[in-house]
Amino acid sequence: MDFTLIIVTLVAFLAVGLALWAAFARRAPSGSDELVQQMALTQAELAGRLQVMHEGQMQLSRSMEERLEAVTKRLGDGLTEHSKSTGDVIKQVHERLAVIDSAQKNLTDLSDQVVGLQNILSNKQARGAFGEIQLNDLVSDVLPPSADAFQATLSNGKRADCLLKLPNPPGSIVIDAKFPLESYLALRDCKDDEARKVALRAFGADVMNHVRAIAEKYIVPGETAESALMFLPSEAVYAELHATLPDVIEKSYRARVWIVSPTTLMATLNTVRAVLKDARMREQAGVIQTEVLKLLEDVLRLDKRVTNLQTHFNHAQRDIGEIQTSAGKITRRAERIEDIQLNDETPVDDLAPATADPALPSRDPAAREQANLDLD
């Protein structure tokens, strides 16, 4: 646009110059031809420069158009590539948002479960039911139904959470579930050492109250074993008790109450299962011994029959040997007869002893003796 304005301005100046020149030519005398020629040359030079400027403008316009087209193409390619990469990024963002939404949903569900668990643990009755259900699951997974009884009533009228039916000794063992959560949470939330000491004493006293109650209710002489089990449904409470209150553990041992967690209860139940298996094997020991004696009698009878069969085999072998001996003699006699028949020069007197029946008595004592030897 600037070059076009310059060209228009130059053309206007040129037109004004031509008009002035024409007016000057009409007024000037004939002696000013040189000036007229000089102005004509100037006008031609100006026209050439204008032509050059016009060509330069055209070339510049073409160059500008080419550059503009290249820039436009490059910009379009860049926008296309940027749009594609932006689309990929948006797709990835959508996928990650979907994953985040799923994780958020899982977190929401987990939060609801945690809130539900907190509601359960905050209520003593619900917490007790939680411990009993966990105890029931552990015992049912390890022992057969005949080896345990839940909510069994003892002779003193007390109802046990679980009764393990073991042979004497040691006898049936009671497992009672306890969950001292309030004192444990108070101990965990302590801010200073003084408060921790107070909470620790309260926690130990709470556990010992449960131990004494179990020892008084569930150890019945003549009916149960001399010990009982206190089941803590939380590994954290069990670990805290063993780590900070070893004296409470020792007092519980003296009271014949063994404190167990889910893990240690599983090991105990495996031991109980081995004891039950051993007791069942002892009960069946008489039956096993009787069957073993019968098996021994069967073995002796079989050995006798094998001996008899061996004797029969020996007799059969001896009979087969005698049969083979007789067959050999018969074969030799047949060969002798064949040899005698093929020999035409054999005297008749020589044929008589050979063709005579060996079973008949011979007149010749030597021939009779030879016949006896042949038969043997």
pLDDT tens, position by position, 14-42 = 665 665 665 555 555 444 567 667 777 77
| Beta strand extents in the chain (DSSP E only) | 148-153, 159-164, 173-177, 228-231, 257-260
Q: Is the pLDDT of residue 186 over 60?
A: yes
Handedness of CA 230, 231, 237, 242 (dihedral sign): positive
Amino acid identity, position 315: H
CA dihedral sign of residues 117, 118, 121, 122: negative
Q: State mean pLDDT over 184-188.
A: 82
What is the structure's pLDDT at 58? 80
Give the phi and the psi of residue 149 in degrees, each rounded to 5.
-145, 130
SS3 state of residue 326: helix
Calpha distance 207→182 (Å, rounded): 11
The residue written with tokens 């963002």 in the block is: 93
Rounded to two decimals, the pTM is 0.45
Q: What is the pLDDT of residues 289-302, one digit of tens each?
A: 888 888 888 898 89
Q: Stretch 83-105: mean pLDDT, rounded? A: 82
Alpha-carbon span 311 to 299, nearest angstrom: 18
Query: Which fold would CATH assign to domain 124-283?
Result: Trna Endonuclease; Chain: A, domain 1 (3.40.1350)
Cα pseudo-dihedral 89, 90, 92, 93, rounded to 10 = 120
Task: List the chain domain ranges.
Answer: 2-99, 124-283, 294-342, 349-376
Per-residue tokens: 151: 């909510």
The per-residue pLDDT for range 233-276, each reduced to its tens digit, is 888 888 888 888 888 889 998 989 999 888 888 888 888 888 88
